[in-house]
Amino acid sequence: MSVDRRNSGASFEETPRIIVMDDEESIRLGCEKVLSREGFEVVAAADGSSGWELLQEQEFDLALIDLKMPGIDGMNILKLMNEHLPDVVAIVITGYASYETAVETVKLGAYDYIPKPFTPDELRNVVRRGLERRFLRLSNRRLLLDLTEERSRLMTILHAMSDGVLVANRRGELVLANSAGREWLDASAQTSEEEAPSLDYVVAVEEIRSITDRIAEDPHLEGCDEEIETEDGRFFHAAATAIRDEDSGYLGVVIVLRDITERREIEKMKSAFVRMVSHELRSPLAAVQGYLELLVDTDVDDAESDRMLRRCRSRVEALQQMINDLLDLSRLESGAVHRELRRQDVTQILEEVVELQRGAALERDIDIHLATEDSLEMVADRRELEEIFTNLISNAIKYNRDEGRVDVAAERDEYGIRVSVSDTGIGMKPEALESIFEEFFRVRSSQTASVTGTGLGLSIVKQIVDAYDGEIDVSSQPGEGSTFTVLLPVDSG
């Protein structure tokens, strides 16, 4: 005979150990013989005291205990085992089997009893049942431990999730909420501190109640999605799934809440940007189309057609400039620009940019002055530095008055290289200053109407300056002029 451990569900590698306590030598020897043949390890004790000592010293799976023994008797051994070794299965050997004895021994924790005299088969059977019970008990305990561990692992994961998880029962009461879910409820339910612990307060959030109600009422509804806006202007995506039993009976609902505020904002910005771009592209295209229609459909003299074609060309050039600026911007924003970082001489770059702009300045009798130290070096991409300075200096000319003045100055200070571009031009009102770094922002006034531009130059400048961890500032007085100051850390590249 052998104990079927597969059925017990436990996987005990070791040989079962059994102790036999009996003062009758023949019983001890008989038990040892029968049980050893089964592959068990058997230890025998001739009296209760030595038996109890052995039980304390060594590990046993099962004990066969004679009730009448010198030293500590069987009943007392049972009591001790019940108190100190409840996992060792106790089987009583008794010479006077009576119903009362049986009841008493079971009360004291014995699993079974075997009356003397017994056959080897009876012994094998009772021991096998006892061992099976022990394995079952141990494997149950292990399962329970595993379950507890699994549950606590699940709870840890649930609480660590950034998504909110709420579970409501069929009455709509909250039975589980992870940390993010509870935070959401606390912010949305607007219940007082005292009210919060109540299970009902989940239904205080109207949107959640409507989801749970809808699922509860429709037995075919597996789940539903909803976007919820909270009082403080945040947006959440709530995905609800019904929990049903095998007969489709409604048990409750699991709701997962995800904060989509940021995504919503990006979407809004994206569509605003697309609207702006389409709007900016439409007016020059409409102008070109208008001129072309006139040229095709009407008789215009050469001078007039020449004038129209020139206007078309300048509109198309402006469009091209806008598209190039947009591409620059998107490259900068996506970080896809390839920077060639080298030691650059800022003084030399400023000199070149000023020289290139001098022609445009001269056309309107504007003086450009450059004041800089001999050599100002920093690590940067040359093209990007040129882009910053060209934009600022060309704006200082474009938005200047005729016979005005532009001052470009560069110096090193403790934070890096500081370049300022001042003009004596039209200046800007304080409210315009808040928006000039936004894409497509242009001041609309009679003074700027004749100035061509895309409204993208300063956004590009700002993006580049940010990429170098630099700063850009502007001060301006309407009618007097503006000063743009850029600070670039020397080793930011």
Residues near ligand ADP (CB under 6 A) are 391, 395-396, 399, 423, 425-428, 436, 441-443, 448, 453-459, 482
Cβ 184 to ligand ADP, closest distance in Å? 41
Closest to ligand ADP by CB, 207 vs 367, is: 367
CB of 163 to ligand ADP, least distance (A): 41
User: CB-wise, 164 or 455, nearer to ligand ADP?
Assistant: 455
Q: Based on CB atoms, which residue is closest to ligand ADP, 236 or 399?
A: 399
In the complex, minimum distance from the CB of residue 189 to ligand ADP, in angstroms, rounded to a whole number: 46
Evaluate whether 128 touches 3 at the Cβ level (below 8 Å): yes
Amino acid at 39: G
Residue number with CB closer to ligand ADP (178 or 395): 395
Q: Is 233 left (phi over 0), alpha (psi -120 to 50) or beta?
A: left
Give the separation between CA 196 and CA 205, rounded to whole angstroms.
12
Nearer of residues 77 and 397 to ligand ADP, judged by Cβ: 397
Pairing status of strand 342-345 against strand 377-380: antiparallel
B/e letters for 383-401, b = 16+ CB within 10 Å, e = fewer, are ebbbbbbbbbbbbbbbbbb
State the nearest-atom distance from the C-beta of 326 to ligand ADP, in Å. Answer: 12
Which of 459, 125, 43 has its CA nearest to residue 273? Answer: 459
Contact 389, 409 (CB under 8 A): no
Nearest CB to ligand ADP, comparing residues 463 and 482: 482
- Find the residue with minimal CB distance to ligand ADP: 453
Min dist CB 395 to ligand ADP, Å, is 4
Q: How far is the CB of 182 from ligand ADP (least distance, A)?
A: 47
Q: In the β-sheet with 223-229, what is the strand arrangement from edge to edge?
A: 174-177, 164-169, 250-259, 235-244, 223-229
Contacts 24+ apart (CB under 8 A), 457-463: 457/325, 457/391, 457/394, 457/395, 458/391, 458/395, 459/329, 460/325, 460/328, 460/329, 460/332, 460/387, 460/391, 461/387, 461/388, 461/391, 461/392, 461/437, 461/486, 462/437, 463/329, 463/332, 463/333
Kindly state the smallest distance separating residue 273's Cβ from ligand ADP, in Å.
Answer: 15
What is the H or E stretch that residue 276 is in?
helix 261-297
Q: How far is the CB of 276 from ligand ADP (least distance, A)?
A: 13
Nearer to ligand ADP, 7 or 330 (CB): 330
Helix axes 302-334, 261-297, angle to 10 degrees: 160
The residue among 114 and 428 lying less far from ligand ADP, judged by its C-beta, is 428
CB of 382 to ligand ADP, least distance (A): 21
Beta strands in 288-387 (DSSP E): 342-345, 367-372, 377-380
